[in-house]
Amino acid sequence: MAKSPTSRRPYLLRAMHEWMTDNDQTPHLVIDAKVTGVQVPPASIRDGRVTLNVSWQATDGLRLGNDWIEFTARFGGVSQPVRLPLQAVQGIYARETGQGMLFQEEGEPSPPAPEPDQSGGRPKLRVVK
């Protein structure tokens, strides 16, 4: 039996975090607070979501693992632990520009691959709505 591939989400998340940090931007995560295992201060949750600054300056002990994100941060001046399952992460964006990435639910179909050009040339991309 073939082993199923690991999720791309933790790898993409780490890459986006590094890119934003390298470009002097402040990475923020959008979290679905209703996902089982999310540990954040309840007062930080708005409409079932929480947005967290995950810059190196705003966190202590930040670990962007394959299954969990863990760190300590200050909420209302009080240092508190945060623990997030990766499936709760809905997206990551830079505060300064709004650029980032939204994540699709695991198991959702990916957009179709580019169709090869019938003339034997390069693949052509098309907009899928």
Q: What is the 3-state secondary structure (H, E, C) of 28-50?
A: EEEEECCCCCCECCHHHCECCEE
- Res. 122 pLDDT band, cuts 50 70 90: low
pLDDT of residue 60: 97
Q: Where are the domains of the chain?
A: 9-102
Q: pLDDT tens-digit profile of 9-21?
A: 999 999 999 999 9
- The whole-angstrom separation of Cα 87 and Cα 6 is 13
The residue ranking higher by pLDDT, 43 or 104, is 43
Percent of the chain with pLDDT over 90: 74
Q: Please, what is the average pLDDT of the chain?
A: 86
Q: Is 51 within 8 Å of 31 (Cβ atoms)?
A: yes
- Res. 121 pLDDT band, cuts 50 70 90: low
Spell out the CATH class of 9-102: mainly beta
Q: Is 48 within 8 Å of 32 (Cβ atoms)?
A: yes
In this prediction, residues 101-106 reach a mean pLDDT of 81
Cβ partners under 8 Å of residue 90, min gap 6? 30, 31, 32, 49, 102, 103
- Res. 113 pLDDT band, cuts 50 70 90: very low
- The whole-angstrom separation of Cα 32 and Cα 5 is 24
Name the DSSP letter for residue 15: H
What three-state secondary structure class fits 124? strand
